[in-house]
Amino acid sequence: MSASSQEVILSARGLTKEFFGFKAVSNVDLDIRENTIHALIGPNGAGKTTVFNLLTKFLNPTAGTISFRGQDITKLKPADVARLGLVRSFQISAVFPHLTVLDNVRVALQRKAHLGTQFWRSSRVLDRLDTRAGELIEAVGLTAYADLDAAELPYGRKRALELATTLALDPPVLLFDEPMAGMGVEDIGRISDLIRQIARDRTVVMVEHNLNVVADLCDRVTVLARGEILAEGDYAEVSANPKVREAYMGTEHE
């Protein structure tokens, strides 16, 4: 799939973030295209997490603009952009440890369906929710764990549950900050498969340190270094770029 043929869904122009006069992100232009998996990579301190937090509105930029589907979202709050369909997963996912896997997914679906505050619920609506909950649990490989409390799940499976509760919201754009952090090889394979699967009809933006995962999953890669964009392209292009190699080498020797 050619990433350049798709519409831009999320973009930033001149994105800049200063912390007490220090430019963590400097004049970043970014175009994320629909139905692609787009990675933000770069050595430690490059500004990846700051860009991620700016895009999801957890931080306000010092300068620059962000637009989503052509709408300027620079001044919106995280909840507003989430409602528009720009949702970050994992770090703020609401997983209730003392609810079962099934009930966690049910709660997420009820929130999406705005049923949370209603006392009356038709059994037809609840049946539909249960069917969808079952599908989501199966999609993330948790069918055998459906009746366990979330707290009892091993780490990788907990992340799969977080993914299911995020998918329950059915967002067109999903952003992951280091989805593979702390995972073993087996979990990485499983979560990679899941991300590939959910990205078939969604846009995924991810900050990821594991370059094997980036090479395997991502259509487009933006490399940041010292708060600026160093290179952009597919993984083969950016990994062959001498400036990128130098930036990574530089930090290895620090």
Ligand X SMILES: Nc1ncnc2c1ncn2[C@@H]1O[C@H](COP(=O)(O)OP(=O)(O)OP(=O)(O)O)[C@@H](O)[C@H]1O
Q: What residue ranges bind ligand X (CB under 6 A)? A: 19, 24, 42, 44-50
Bridge partners of 203, per DSSP, are: 173
Q: How far apart are CA 51 and CA 57, in angstroms?
A: 10
CB neighbour list of residue 35: distance below 8 Å, 6 or more residues apart: 1, 6, 199, 200, 201, 202, 203
* Shortest Cβ 88–ligand X spacing (Å): 14
* Contact partners, residue 133, CB within 8 Å, separation at least 6: 102, 105, 106, 109, 168
Distance set, CA 136 to CA 20, 97, 163, 169 (Å) = 44, 18, 9, 11
Q: Which is nearer to ligand X, 25 or 194 (CB)?
A: 25
- Closer by beta carbon to ligand X, 42 or else 171: 42
Whose Cβ is closer to ligand X: residue 89's or residue 165's? 89
**Strand (E) positions, 197-237?**
203-207, 220-225, 228-233
Min dist CB 238 to ligand X, Å, is 15
Stated length of the chain = 254
Minimum CB separation of residue 216 from ligand X in Å reads: 19
Burial category of 87 from C-beta neighbours within 10 Å (exposed 0-12, middle 13-18, buried 19 and up): buried
Residues near 41 by beta carbon (within 8 Å), at least 6 away in sequence: 48, 207, 208, 209, 211, 214, 221, 222, 223, 224, 238
Q: Indicate the residue among 22 and 120 with the shorter CB distance to ligand X.
A: 22
Nearer to ligand X, 114 or 253 (CB): 253
Q: How far is the CB of 29 from ligand X (least distance, A)?
A: 17
Residue 154 or 250 with smaller CB distance to ligand X: 250
Minimum CB distance to ligand X, residue 49 (Å): 3
At closest approach, how far in Å is the CB of 42 from ligand X?
5
